[in-house]
Amino acid sequence: MPAVSKGDGMRGLAVFISDIRNCKSKEAEIKRINKELANIRSKFKGDKALDGYSKKKYVCKLLFIFLLGHDIDFGHMEAVNLLSSNKYTEKQIGYLFISVLVNSNSELIRLINNAIKNDLASRNPTFMCLALHCIANVGSREMGEAFAADIPRILVAGDSMDSVKQSAALCLLRLYKASPDLVPMGEWTARVVHLLNDQHMGVVTAAVSLITCLCKKNPDDFKTCISLAVSRLSRIVSSASTDLQDYTYYFVPAPWLSVKLLRLLQCYPPPEDAAVKGRLVECLETVLNKAQEPPKSKKVQHSNAKNAILFETISLIIHYDSEPNLLVRACNQLGQFLQHRETNLRYLALESMCTLASSEFSHEAVKTHIDTVINALKTERDVSVRQRAADLLYAMCDRSNAKQIVSEMLRYLETADYAIREEIVLKVAILAEKYAVDYSWYVDTILNLIRIAGDYVSEEVWYRVLQIVTNRDDVQGYAAKTVFEALQAPACHENMVKVGGYILGEFGNLIAGDPRSSPPVQFSLLHSKFHLCSVATRALLLSTYIKFINLFPETKATIQGVLRAGSQLRNADVELQQRAVEYLTLSSVASTDVLATVLEEMPPFPERESSILAKLKRKKGPGAGSALDDGRRDASSNDINGGVEPTPSTVSTPSPSADLLGLRAAPPPAAPPATSGAGNLLVDVFSDGPAAQPSLGPTPEEAFLSELEPPAPESPMALLADPAPAADPGPEDIGPPIPEADELLNKFVCKNNGVLFENQLLQIGVKSEFRQNLGRMYLFYGNKTSVQFQNFSPTVVHPGDLQTQLAVQTKRVAAQVDGGAQVQQVLNIECLRDFLTPPLLSVRFRYGGAPQALTLKLPVTINKFFQPTEMAAQDFFQRWKQLSLPQQEAQKIFKANHPMDAEVTKAKLLGFGSALLDNVDPNPENFVGAGIIQTKALQVGCLLRLEPNAQAQMYRLTLRTSKEPVSRHLCELLAQQF
């Protein structure tokens, strides 16, 4: 920075600031400021031209007044004039004033932009840095549009000074974060990667920040950075503290750069090159080795810098999840931090070990620290650390330690903080179910859970225990006996009464032989709790009483007396009154056989997945660990519901008692007759029957659709249509698709336009549009050579039964394609039925006398006929429940192949064709969509739910449609996009 001359002290500014500080009251301050503003205004308006020093001094005073909170409505032009000065201090003050006071809508913005352009073109590094700092500080879209193309050029220019490169990288990063669409990706992207090899560490640090941000949106453009980042990291890690003296922080070489490089590597999978991977593994081992060395300083800054690199290294090891040795070493290192005196280190160690526990390579190593974690749960004073300890116990739990962990968590629950009790309850319930070998232990655990923390036991928990008891014949008697004993406690939680009412109503007969639990005793025990319960619980108990009449006829008179009581028949609550009246009439009028049929035992529940997991996911939010996903998989594979899931033909129709107890969803209502209103389009969507044809007048959309329909054979238009080729090749006449055909097809699942294929001879572009079950596709064939293509023949081939599922009408193209020319082919497409395989595009031609042939997969997938559908949350969940049969759902849990970005995910889902529904999923990080697959034969309703887990870099995708093949196929198509 240039030296400040003697006259730059600005004594007048110092005196003014001193006067302001010496003011005794607000009024005195305002009076002094107004006097100064009047003086400055007169100076600016005077006839005598001010010199640069005076302008700078007065502009500084205006800036100080503005920072005191007073409005400034003049002086802007003088500040802009300072930008043209050749003195550093004057130009600096001008840029400072503009950065603070000038907004993007100012009339002076064009003058400012011209001054900035002049400074950027001046090749004076000091002036260039000032201009770049101003652009970054203002960061407006207008400035981005003006300079986004110039800054990359300055960044990669060979003659740019190091300070300019550093400022340019950070300025470009600021513009990219503000307006990503303004920063053009071009040849500079390949050159900016090589800045990682720059000699100046400041340039490398700024470049890493820029590349890390850019590669999240365009990972393929920056793949080459992996080897360079590993190389630079290796040099830093292996260097001594004296090698990088200017960038050594408390004996730790370049800690900020090291952390940034490690984060950059987490944007990509492990390196494919064996040499690069080996060098990276060596770096990670060196960091772990250095963590074991005695500290070189006792100051906290040294340990903070050292631990920052260590934790980022462990994050990278966890991200790769492919090096068992490193994972175990990382786990052991974190284990040492579990008893560290620093609370923050203990917290971070517990958090990282939660992720390590989900890896198959390090799970056993994590389990060795179970005693330390249990001790932390009991003794930690910080509630956030205790919560992380509970998370880790949940993550490390398996069949070998389930009983120990569950008992410890139950013991902790008695004294746990109120803020985390519900979460602990959910985790205990999930673990008890997931690892229940002895189901009597599961019943004991859940009842104990209700006893200890009944207020925090959500409906999902006690619903679940009822489902499992209903589906397990071997535990029903034990559950009835246990809940009967629990209800005898003087103080009994209402959730215990609900569980007891349901289980005794269904299985009370299994313990009725014991005089201590005879039917009258069971009834009197339940009825003693009746008046202390809420309306919902009393309604459930009334349903239990009518069940008792069926199970134990000897209690009929007693129960009818209760139902006949005025407090029931004239109850102020309409639900209780209606139940009492109906149950009394049913027990009086119906015969024993009819009563037994109406009040038969509940059938097994068809649910295959625990709803508690979803509850815990909502409770944990987006940071939930991958252990939740593992829990989902294991819980569903445990077969805890008892037996094979029923097929559609074996699902029992819920008996009236199911509705009375309110524990099962009502069967889907019959669809009302289709009407001609467009608003009722969804009525029959979720059935396999043919779609109702609404009789509406022609709309612009229908005009488009009719335009796409092929002309009828007898119409005059048919005579004008190009005749089909005499003998199109069949699937057996063409070669197999090229190896990258699937990859090329996947790029078009969520978009309609782009380059489908390109080599040194030919480029094939695609532009398409789809509405309802019709589509039009334009294929552009470009000859990239200077030689004419002969016998050019592109044809569409339908493999297998696709001819009956998809109709494609093609227009012929010219047989000769001149060098450098492009021809267009139009395809009219009609979806007749749902299909799984795309049509093939066979392109044959002669180039230089040699025959050329290639086969591609035409980018026509079933989701192209997706019509987005908006619906309210209530409608969504109603339809979701209607599509609850196992064969109607497809679910996939998979690792993210690209950086997880909410906006990119939203764009892909919209491109996939579904409507995104806001405020439907309780977790705002999840995505919920709905739509209709339009075919000529029928409409297939589709609901989807995508749950990202940013911490574990995993997704869970669930699709439900009314057709099994469609669910599976859509799930596979969409999963490949993430």
As beta bridge partners, residue 794 has 843
Torsion of CA 902, 907, 909, 913, to 10 degrees: 160
What is the full DSSP assignment across 5-56?
Answer: PGGGG-HHHHHHHHHHHH-SSHHHHHHHHHHHHHHHHHHHHSSSPPPHHHHH
223 DSSP 8-state letter? T
Separation of alpha carbons 353 and 336, rounded Å:
12
Is 936 a known ligand-binding residue?
A: no
Question: What is the residue whose two structure tokens read 């500040």?
Answer: 79
**What does the angle CA 668 – CA 669 – CA 670 come to, to the nearest 5 degrees?**
120
Is 942 a known ligand-binding residue?
A: no
Burial class (CB in 10 A: 0-12, 13-18, 19+), 914: buried
Is 411 a known ligand-binding residue?
A: no
Is 505 a known ligand-binding residue?
A: no
Helix (H/G/I), strand (E/B), else coil: 762: strand
Separation of alpha carbons 884 and 960, rounded Å:
8
Is 59 a known ligand-binding residue?
A: yes
* Angstrom distances, CA of residue 594 to CA of 509, 532, 591, 845, 855: 19, 33, 5, 78, 67
Whether 422 and 428 have beta carbons less than 8 Å apart is answered as: no
Separation of alpha carbons 217 and 951, rounded Å:
18
Separation of alpha carbons 113 and 838, rounded Å:
52
As beta bridge partners, residue 646 has none
Whether 612 and 472 have beta carbons less than 8 Å apart is answered as: no
Is 223 a known ligand-binding residue?
A: no
State both tokens at 469: 């008891």
Separation of alpha carbons 402 and 413, rounded Å:
16
Helix (H/G/I), strand (E/B), else coil: 923: coil
How many CB atoms are closer than 10 A to CB 118? Answer: 13
Phi, psi of 797 (to 5 degrees): -120, 140
* Angstrom distances, CA of residue 345 to CA of 342, 375, 420, 681: 5, 16, 21, 57
Separation of alpha carbons 856 and 563, rounded Å:
73
Sign of CA dihedral 464, 466, 467, 471: positive
Separation of alpha carbons 410 and 453, rounded Å:
9
How long, in residues, is the chain?
978
As a whole number of Å, the CA-based R_g of the chain is 36
State both tokens at 478: 């034990």
Question: What is the residue whose two structure tokens read 């919209």?
Answer: 910
337 Ramachandran zone, left/alpha/beta (phi>0; psi -120 to 50): alpha
Whether 116 and 98 have beta carbons less than 8 Å apart is answered as: no
Question: What is the residue whose two structure tokens read 């209800």?
Answer: 487
Closest residue by Cα to residue 561 from 572, 577, 547, 545? 545
Q: In what order do the strands lie in the sheet with 789-797?
A: 789-797, 840-847, 850-857
Is 60 a known ligand-binding residue?
A: yes
Please state the residue numbers annotated as binding site. Answer: 11-12, 43, 53, 57-61
